[in-house]
Amino acid sequence: MTSAALISGGCPIPLLASAGARAQGEADGEPVLRLPAAPPEALAFGHDALVVCDNLVRIYQSETVEVQALQSLDLLVGEGEMVALVGASGSGKSTLLNVLAGVDAPTAGRARVDGHDLTDMSRREQVHYRRHVVGFVRQQASRNLVPYLTASHVVDLPMTIAGVPRRERRLRTEGLLELLAVAHCADRLPVQMSGGEQQRVAIAVALANEPRLVLADEPTGELDSESAAEVFAALRTANQELGATVVVVTHDAEVSGQVARTVAIRDGRTSSEVVRSEGTADTPATAEEYAVMDRAGRVQLPREFREALELTHRVRLALAEDHVEIRSDRREGA
Ligand code: ADP
Ligand code: MG
């Protein structure tokens, strides 16, 4: 039989006739084995996403305790998406946003935004990244603004630092305040604005240098529902009219109900997603919840499911034609 040796990863593999080529033996009537067709070239995880978190780990270590705030978190966000991030207090939402904002470094894994590798940035790149690629809105309105700067001045500031010419700065500041419905606050100091106005000005600051990505960590957390709706509308404007990709952490079901995709974080990993489609004249709007499977095939079962069937550390799996079954390891009647 015709055979040769193919070196793959250092191991010789007996080579049967190469795919497509007629081997000697075939003409002689001998059975010929063929190599399976080469798989299509594997594309890197999230190769076309704006935000890629790949096995992201962040461990906070103090003298006495170690907290795993992010535990192998995977997340992809596409260019132009608006994603709500939800999860219990302490689940790692702020940690994730701080990593994506370039203000905190992950302990392990990879995070990439718009081609910038956040795990390996020089000081210079970090400054560029924070100034031009990402805009960050924090929960506490007071931390987003400067007590002695008016709205106009505080929106102007990031552009001044970036060296934008004066005329362009003025036009953009006016345009942003107008677009986010806070033009009337242009000459006011933070103390002269409501909480909702402060947060909308903070969104204008975040947008000043035309970032690709806007991150907002519970921006409506301290607001009444009416102001919260206005702040959320400002984020939608940033997304829809300015084309910024938006990731917003929220506790507010109203807010998460209005975006196309809500990602839930549990214990430092993404655990489930709700994907909504807008209805049309013929089809009703839908909202479907999915469990997230990581690249190793791991899926987290909701606690209610585990408790209902008393599933503990071992379960039986079976492949059915179009689904996978998960059963308790206890035998029926045992
Ligand atoms: P969330 O924003 O979802 O409420 P965080 O990301 O703030 O959660 O926190 C995740 C976990 O990491 C929590 O257990 C929190 O106590 C811990 N943590 C966050 N920041 C620090 C820090 N600077 N030092 C130590 N532990 C921290
Ligand atoms: Mg938080």
What is the pLDDT of the chain when averaged over all its residues? 86
Which H or E run includes 249?
strand 245-249
pLDDT, tens only, 197-213? 999 999 999 999 999 99
**Ligand 1 atom closest to Cα of residue 91:** 3
Structure-block tokens of residue 221: 């957390």
Residues with CB under 6 A from ligand 1: 60, 67, 69, 87, 89-95
C-alpha span between 306 and 271 (Å, rounded): 15
3-state class (DSSP) for residue 195: helix
pLDDT for the residue numbered 8: 40
Ligand 2 mean position, distance from CA 109 (Å): 21
- Give the residues across from 266 on adjacent strands: 269
Angle between helices 166-179 and 151-161 (to 10 degrees): 130
Q: Are 290 and 90 in contact (CB under 8 A)?
A: no
Residue whose CA is closest, atom 22 of ligand 1? Answer: 60
| Residue 58 CA, closest ligand 1 atom number | 12
pLDDT recorded at residue 200: 97
Pick the atom of ligand 1 nearest to 62's CA: 25
- 249 neighbors 240 (Cβ within 8 angstroms): no
Ligand 1 atom closest to 98 (CA): 6
**Is 60 exceeded by the pLDDT of residue 12?**
no
pLDDT digits (tens, 9 = 90+) for 17-34: 444 444 444 455 666 777
pTM exceeding 0.85: no
Cα–Cα dist 86/273, whole Å:
10
Name the 3-class secondary structure at 159.
helix
Reduced 3-state DSSP string for 68-135: EEEEEEEEEECCCCEEEEECCCCCCHHHHHHHHCCCCCCCEEEEEECCEECCCCCHHHHHHHHHHHEE
Whether the predicted pLDDT of 313 surpasses 50: yes
Name beta bridge partners: 98. none
Residue-range domain boundaries for the chain = 1-38, 51-291, 301-334
**Continuous segment of H or E residues that includes residue 27:** helix 24-27
Q: Residue 263 and residue 121: Cα distance in Å, rounded?
A: 27
How far apart, in whole angstroms, are the C-alpha atoms of residue 316 and residue 256?
35
Angle formed at CA 107 by CA 74 and CA 135, multiple of 5 degrees: 65
- Give, as one character, the DSSP assignment of residue 229: H
Give the torsion sign (CA, 193, 198, 204, 206).
positive
Return the number of other C-beta atoms located less than 10 Å from residue 100's C-beta. Answer: 24
Average pLDDT on 33-47 reads 71
Does 51-291 carry CATH code 3.40.50.300?
A: yes
Residue 247: count other Cβ atoms within 10 Å of its Cβ: 26
Ligand nearest to the CA of 64: 1
CA of 139 to the centre of ligand 2 (A): 8
CA of 79 to the centre of ligand 1 (A): 28
Stretch among 205-219, 227-241, 272-286, 299-313 having the lowest mean pLDDT: 272-286
Cα of 163 vs centre of ligand 2, distance in Å, is 33
Does the pLDDT of residue 182 top 90, yes or no? yes
Mutation probe of ligand 1 site: the residue of 95, 247, 270 with most atoms within 8 A of C-beta: 95
Dist. CA 162 → ligand 2 center (Å): 29
